Amino acid sequence: MERERRSRYLQAMGIVEWQRRDRVAEPAAQSVQPAHAGSSGDAAPSRQPVPAAGDISRLEWDALQARVLSCTACDLHKSRTQAVFGVGSRDADWMIVGEAPGAEEDRRGEPFVGRAGQLLDSMLHAIGLDRQQVYIANVLKCRPPNNRDPRPEEVEQCEPYLQRQVALVQPRLILAVGRIAAQNLLKTNAPLSRLRGRRHSYGEAGTPLVVTYHPAYLLRSPLEKRKAWQDLKLAREVAGR
On whether residue 194 sits in a domain, the answer given is yes
Q: Which residue in 102, 120, 87 sits closest to 13, CA to CA?
A: 120
On whether residue 40 sits in a domain, the answer given is no
The per-residue pLDDT for 241 is 81
Q: Which CATH number is 100's domain given?
A: 3.40.470.10
On whether residue 130 sits in a domain, the answer given is yes
On whether residue 34 sits in a domain, the answer given is no
The per-residue pLDDT for 12 is 63
On whether residue 23 sits in a domain, the answer given is no
The per-residue pLDDT for 27 is 42
> What is the Cα–Cα distance from 70 to 127, expressed in whole angstroms?
36
On whether residue 216 sits in a domain, the answer given is yes
Cβ neighbours for 194, distance < 8 A, ≥ 6 positions apart: none
User: In whole angstroms, how far apart are CA 233 and each of 48, 91, 98, 124?
Assistant: 41, 22, 19, 11
Identify whether the C-beta of residue 161 lies closer than 8 Å to the C-beta of residue 64. yes
> What is the Cα–Cα distance from 150 to 155, expressed in whole angstroms?
7
Range of the domain at 143: 3-13+53-239
Count of domains forming the chain:
1
Residue ranges, the chain, pLDDT below 70: 1-54
* Helix 152-169 and helix 61-69, axial crossing angle in degrees, nearest 10: 160
On whether residue 36 sits in a domain, the answer given is no
Whole-model pTM: value is 0.81
The per-residue pLDDT for 8 is 60
